[in-house]
Amino acid sequence: DGGITQSPKYLFRKEGQNVTLSCEQNLNHDAMYWYRQDPGQGLRLIYYSQIVNDFQKGDIAEGYSVSREKKESFPLTVTSAQKNPTAFYLCASTDIGVSSPLHFGNGTRLTVT
Amino acid sequence: GENVEQHPSTLSVQEGDSAVIKCTYSDSASNYFPWYKQELGKGPQLIIDIRSNVGEKKDQRIAVTLNKTAKHFSLHITETQPEDSAVYFCAAWTSGAAGNKLTFGGGTRVLVKP
């Protein structure tokens, strides 16, 4: 089955700790994206990557970092600098070149206390 | 950058009635407009999309219209069923020098009452 896998589904951390969220896709997509979703809100873009070893900041990149060492993987690190890290994080991927729909994973719910 | 506004934020309809969700966008360069349905605790799923060279598209009970001049697009769900209850998001796709991005509206929570 082709798709996007986000793990874990639920993640708990203490304030001040960095945490890395995993995102793996086997769709052979070039582009990958990270979005943040707060309760009752839309999706806001954190970081995106069009190709391996390259990525761009989205609208709310402060306090986050990413890497893209492999085509199929795009991990997101939520650092201690992120003031309000508790949220639902969604990873997505798509082909590039022609506008095409994003395929989403089922998200990771991060709770920081 | 692109800004997408979505209305209403909540919508309650009787089973069998129609539901309409409206979105506006700001960037005239946006050329692709997908709609997503999100169920509780899951990622959004694409339900229909429309490109800027098309004015209307229909897929069974779901239709989308696009007015490029006015920069707005709408989702129409006819003969609503309880399983249509979910959160719906519109989005606009923009291609730029820094890459391609999808900007989302704030979402509409649809409740279909049996």
Mean pLDDT value of segment A64-84? 95
% of chain B beyond a pLDDT of 90: 84
Distances (CA, A) of B73 to A26, A70, B8: 32, 37, 13
Rounded CA separation B27/B92 (Å): 9
From A24's Cα to the closest Cα of chain B, the distance in A is 14
What letters, b where the CB count within 10 A reaches 16 and e where it falls short, cover B83-108? ebbbbbbbbbbbbeeebbbbbbbbbb
From B99's Cα to the closest Cα of chain A, the distance in A is 7
Would the CB atoms of B42 and A106 count as touching at under 8 Å?
yes
Q: How sure is the predictor about A2, in pLDDT bands with cuts at 50, 70 and 90?
A: low
| Average pLDDT along chain A | 93
The interface residues of chain B toward chain A in range 41-100, judged by CB-CB distance below 8 A, are 41-46, 49, 51, 89, 93, 95, 98-100
Q: How sure is the predictor about A98, in pLDDT bands with cuts at 50, 70 and 90?
A: low
Instruction: Answer whether residue A84 shows pLDDT above 80.
Output: yes
Q: What pLDDT, on a 0 to 100 scale, did the predictor assign at position B6?
A: 97
How confident is the model over B41-79, as pLDDT tens digits? 899 999 999 998 889 999 999 999 999 999 999 999 999
Q: Which two tokens stand for residue A66?
A: 């990413």
Q: φ, ψ for residue B83 (rounded to 5)?
A: -70, -5
How confident is the model over B98-107, as pLDDT tens digits? 778 899 999 9
Q: How sure is the predictor about A108, in pLDDT bands with cuts at 50, 70 and 90?
A: very high
